[in-house]
Amino acid sequence: MSLIEQATAAFVGHFNYAPSHDFRAPGRVNLIGEHTDYNDGYVLPAAINFGTVVVAAKRSDQIIRACAVNFDEEIVTLALHEPMVSVDPFNWSNYLRGVCQQLLNKGYPLVGMDIAIVGDVPYGAGLSSSAALEIVLIRTLLAMSDASIDPTDAALLGQRAENDFIGAQTGIMDQLISARGQADHALLIDCRQLTSEPVPFDPDFKIVIFNSNVRRGLVDSEYNTRRRQCQAAASTMQISHLRDADLALLERFSHRMDATTYRRARHVITENERTLLAASTLANRDWATLGELMQASHNSMRDDFEITVPAIDGLVALIQEKLTPGMGGVRMTGGGFGGCVVALVHKSQTGQIIEHVANHYHAAFGLHETVYICQAVDGAFVAH
C-alpha cells in the first residue's frame, strides 16, 4: 500500500469516516555541506521520495485527534484552547504539540481536525524524518484552517518547534529543504540569508543511500559539543559565525586555540568552500571534481570533525572500490556517529555497487545495510 493508503486505512479504522485531504513532506539527503548550517554556511541537500504523509478531516470543535501509524497506531488527543505541554521526551506527539504551540503563538487560528500520520523516512538514519514530520504538520494544520504561510517562514517555525519544544538544537537545512525542495534538483542553500539556488541533476546518475544501521547513540551530545566548539573558534577569531572565516584567518588565530577547536573550525571553513564548488561542478556535470570534493568532505568529517565510525568509513571504502574514478562520489551524510552514506552513481554501476556492498559489508562489520535508490522531489510547499 502507498503511504496515503496506509494513512487512510488507519484513519477510517479509528475514526469511522473517510479523510477529506492529504498532504506530504519529503525527507532529505545532504550531498555535501555537513555541520555548516548552524555556522551560517552553505549546504547542498535534495528532498527525496521518502517522506511523511498526513490525511485529515475538519472537526467542528477545537480538538485534534491524531493517529500515528508508525507508532502502533497510537491515538493522541489535544485541545487547542489548552497549553501545549511536553510529554515523555521520546514521544512522537511532542512534534505535533510543538508545531501547534508555535502556530498558536504566531496567531494562526487553528481548527480542530482528525489526522492520521505515516512515514517511510527511516528513523535515526540522518535523513530528517523529524523535519518531514514538522513540515507536513505545519502544511496540514494551516491548510485545514484555511490559512497560508511563506515556505521559508514554515521552515523557521518548524526549526523553532524542534529547538524550543523538542530541545534539539538543529540548524535550518532540514526544514528548509523539506518545505522548498525542487524535483530533479538539489538546492544550494545559504543558511544565513535563507536563499536557495536550484542545481540540476544529471538524469543518468542516481542518488543511492546506504543506511549503515549503526545505532547513533552519541549523536545528540556530540552534536551539541561540536556546536560549542565551533562557536568557541568563531569567538576566538572575533567573528559571529565560522561562515565569516577563511583558512588565512584561522591560521592567524591558531595559537589561541587548542588543537581540537582548530580542527573543528578547519572542517567547517573547508566544507563551506567544498559546498560552493560542488554546486557548480554538479551543474556542469563535472563528476570527477565532484567525486574528489565528496571524498575530501568525508575525510574532513573523519579526521577534523571526528564524526564518522569504522562501519561508515568501511562502507564508503567498499563503494569506492567499485565506483569508476571520475564517475560519481560517496561520503557520509548527516550528523554522524552512524546513519547513512550517500553515493552519486551512474545508472550503469548502481547494481554492481549495491551487490558489492551486500557481499562484503556484513562480513566486515556484522551489520546489514539498507539501500534506498532516491530521486529528488518537490517540497511540501511547492505548488503542484
Q: Catalytic amino acids? A: 174
**Residue type (1 letter), 340:** C
Contact residues for 91 (Cβ-Cβ < 8 A; gap 6+): none
Contact residues for 200 (Cβ-Cβ < 8 A; gap 6+): 184, 185, 282, 283
Q: For the chain, how far is it from start to end, CA to CA, in angstroms?
A: 23
- Please give the distance of CA 26 from its chain centroid, rounded to a whole number: 9
Residue with cell 570533525: 305
Contact residues for 249 (Cβ-Cβ < 8 A; gap 6+): 237, 239
Strands (DSSP E) found in 153-221: 185-190, 195-200, 205-211
- Please give the distance of CA 300 from its chain centroid, rounded to a whole number: 20
| C-beta of residue 136 within 8 angstroms of C-beta of residue 158 | no
DSSP secondary structure code for residue 70 in this structure: G
Angle at 45 between CA 203 and CA 342, to 5 degrees: 70
DSSP secondary structure code for residue 84 in this structure: -
Strands (DSSP E) found in the chain: 21-30, 42-43, 45-58, 63-68, 74-79, 113-119, 185-190, 195-200, 205-211, 328-333, 340-346, 370-374
